[in-house]
Amino acid sequence: MGQLLYATKLNLAGVNLDALPARKPQVEASLQKTDALLTEAIVETRRVSHELVPVLLKDFGFQKAIGEFCSRFQGTGIRIDCHCFPERLPLPLETALYRMAQELVNNIVRHSGATRGRLEIIRDKDIVYLEAQDNGKGIALEAQRGQKPGKGIGLSTIRDRAELLGGSVEIDSTPEKDTLVTICLPLRKGT
């Protein structure tokens, strides 16, 4: 929603007032008001999403939150197995992992046509690996690169998030094999 509002704001900024000489001041005032409302909506969306998601996460931890998320798909024809180490991590990292895991599971359910999915979060010393695997049709190459016109921003947001945290994303999707997305994040001391 935040992204949509932001795109709307950018589009609004592209309105050419000179193309509307008649009643220009009224139009200009209206545009300014609309822009201010959009800014408010963006800030509010950010606040709400911040408050909503981490409730379960904050109180019960990543393992519980993501387990609960995966269990929502029971009875939908696709089973998502979920394994996660039990220790807590710094909340910003847990939140990032949770968001990325949610997007990957949503993608499996929405796009893959798989009958089974697997989500695994492993900790190996100072690195956390998040793996999402499915036995579906595979991710088209252009979609892997985020070049599919008119398509979403889920995978590219995952790449951005991982990069911001000093990590990386690898997509292994070849025909007749399971699709595997692996995200690798370093655990820095003091974070």
Name the residues that contact ligand ADP, by CB under 6 A: 103, 107-108, 111-112, 134, 136-139, 143, 148, 151-155, 179
Size of the site for Mg ion (CB under 5 A): 3
Stretch that binds Mg ion, among 13-21, 100-108, 124-132, 141-149 (CB under 5 A): 100-108
| Selected binder of Mg ion within 54, 136, 138, 154 (CB under 5 A) | 154
Comparing C-alpha atoms, which of 64, 158, 171, 178 is closest to residue 116?
178
Q: Which residue's CB is nearer to ligand ADP, number 61 or number 107?
A: 107
Stretch that binds Mg ion, among 10-18, 62-70, 145-153, 167-175 (CB under 5 A): 145-153
> What does the radius of gyration of the chain's CA atoms come to, in whole angstroms?
20
Residue 104: how many other CB atoms lie within 10 Å: 23
Q: Which residue's CB is nearer to Mg ion, number 5 or number 143?
A: 143
Q: Which residue's CB is nearer to ligand ADP, number 89 or number 169?
A: 169
Question: How is residue 149 annotated by DSSP?
Answer: T
| Selected binder of Mg ion within 107, 133, 173, 179 (CB under 5 A) | 107
What amino acid occupies position 118?
R
What amino acid occupies position 6?
Y
Q: Which does 139 bind (CB under 5 to 8 A by kind): ligand ADP, Mg ion, none?
A: ligand ADP
**Dihedral angle sign, alpha carbons of residues 38, 43, 46, 48:** negative
Q: Which does 151 bind (CB under 5 to 8 A by kind): ligand ADP, Mg ion, none?
A: ligand ADP
Collapsed DSSP state (helix, strand, coil) of residue 153: coil
Residue positions counted in the chain: 191
The continuous run of DSSP H or E covering 147 comes out as none
Q: Does 136 help bind Mg ion (rule: CB under 5 A)?
A: no
In which residue are the tokens 């009875």 written?
A: 75
- List interacting residues with Mg ion (CB under 5 A): 107, 152, 154
